[in-house]
Every structure is written in C-alpha cells, then in structure tokens.
Amino acid sequence: MIAGNWKMHLGPAEARTFLEGLSLGDVPAQQELLIFPPSVTLASLVADPSRPARVQVGIQNIHWEDQGAFTGEVSAGMAAEVGATFALIGHSERRHVFGETDEEVSLKVTAAYRHGLVPVVCVGETLEERRAGRVDEVILRQLDAALSAFPAQGRVLLAYEPVWAIGTGETATPQDASAAHATLRRRLTDALGVAKAREVAILYGGSVKPANAAELLDATDVDGVLVGGASLDPESFARIASAGS
Ligand code: PEP
C-alpha cells in the first residue's frame, strides 16, 4: 500500500492538475494506492474522470459522532457518502497539534467501522520519548487504545510514523522501522491471533521520498508507506509507488 497524505494542501483545482500529471505506467498492478486529500477536495477527487480507478480515496480525519453541533467537523458517514473508503485516524498532527487523545482515536475507529470506512491508525513516538527508550511503550499504548475498537471482522491498517521523522527530512532507518513494526505485529498477534494479525498491513511514514522509498519498502515487516510532502507531486508519488516492485 502506498498512501499519500496531502494534509492541508491541494484544493479541488490543484487536485485536478495532480491527476492530469499522474502516470502509473511503472507501478506494479498489485500495488494498492490511496490518497487522503483535504475534506473539501474529497468529492471532486472521487468523481474526477481522470482519477485512475486503482487510486482509492480516504478522509484525513473524522469526528466520532454521526452528526451534531460540532462546528468544523466532518463525520464518517458524510465522508462515505461522497466516496471515501478509508479514514486516517490519530495522525501525529491530530494528536500533537490538536490534542487528540487515545480515547478519541478509539471512538473514531468505531465510527469508521460503523460507516464502512477502513481505518488507517497512526502511532508513533516523539524524539523525547525515543531518547528516553520509550518507543515500544508509547506505540503499544496507542495501538491498544485503537485495538479496543477493532471488530471481529473488518480491515484495518496501521501506520508507524515516528513524530520526529514527519516533515523534517529525518527518516527512521529501515532497521528502526522494522523493529517498531515487529513490536506492533507481536501485539496484533497476541490480540487477534496469527491469521488476522497477518492481514493487518503496517505502513511506515516519515519523510519518505523517491530516494529512500525502496529501502524502506524492502525492510522486514514494512507493508507499505504513508507519504506526506512527497505525495503532493504526481511524479514523485508515482516513483515511490514503483519503488516497491
Ligand atoms: C505524514 O504526513 O503522514 C508524513 C509522513 O509526512 P512526511 O512524509 O512529509 O514526513
């Protein structure tokens, strides 16, 4: 899975230009592709005739309630209505800039399932937490909160995104990524059993670019990448998507 998180970039007109420049000729057919545009771009990106059918679309954030007096928020049902099929939940910018808690992440996972959206749950430690040797403790606490909302059936993806590597140009080494992914995989196996845990793709995110995508995608236990800045340019997104071949 190669997923692009556009954050607060690319409104509808720029998204159209992105699609016009997107050429997936070198991207292996089995590679799943996904874009998380801003909410206002979601409907037009889904409906754009130049969107390749294999490029799926998700929402960057949802509220856990279906409707109500929550100014500025968008519900999972609304996102599904305009064609989103995935929901990014617990991105580090939501956690650290907007103060989202583990409990809210859990409620959002439940809301996503209620409306048929596949949650992509983000976990990751800050630099301070890494320096204090708390990587496993932090990412397992974040995973456990989300796990409490997993239904018996249903797809889910995880994204390990060390906060210190997001938008900074710093990337985790493939070994660091593999170690964190193995920790998450062990917990998934304990909680869900071997077969179901194996179905959960774990993406790495944090300054992934065409130049480092191949080594990260080749790393043990890394099932894909979640890309921020480098997903804004169609050529660089396509180069990352073809790096895992
Ligand atoms: C992200 O937004 O999830 C991300 C990983 O950003 P960047 O690739 O820019 O570090």
> Is residue 63 among the annotated active site residues?
no
Ligand 1 pocket, residue 227 CB under 6 Å: yes
pTM of the model: 0.96
Ligand 1 pocket, residue 167 CB under 6 Å: yes
User: Taking the CA of residue 127 as centre, how many other CA atoms within 13 Å lie in the half-sphere pointing to its CB?
Assistant: 7
> Is residue 91 among the annotated active site residues?
yes
CA distance linking residue 116 with residue 114, whole number of Å: 6
207 CA → ligand 1 middle, Å:
6
- Tens digit of pLDDT at every position of the chain (245 positions): 999 999 999 999 999 999 999 999 999 999 999 999 999 999 999 999 999 999 999 999 999 999 999 999 999 999 999 999 999 999 999 999 999 999 999 999 999 999 999 999 999 999 999 999 999 999 999 999 999 898 878 899 999 999 999 888 888 899 999 999 999 999 999 999 999 999 999 999 999 999 999 999 999 999 999 999 999 999 999 999 999 76
Identity (one letter) of the amino acid at 194? V
Tokens of 217: 């995608």
Of ligand 1's atoms, which has the minimum distance to the CA of residue 208?
8
H-state helical runs in the chain: 12-20, 39-47, 76-81, 92-96, 102-114, 127-131, 135-147, 174-192, 194-199, 210-218, 234-243
CA distance linking residue 8 with residue 5, whole number of Å: 9
CA distance linking residue 216 with residue 230, whole number of Å: 15
Q: Which domains does the chain have, with CATH numbers?
A: 2-243 (3.20.20.70)
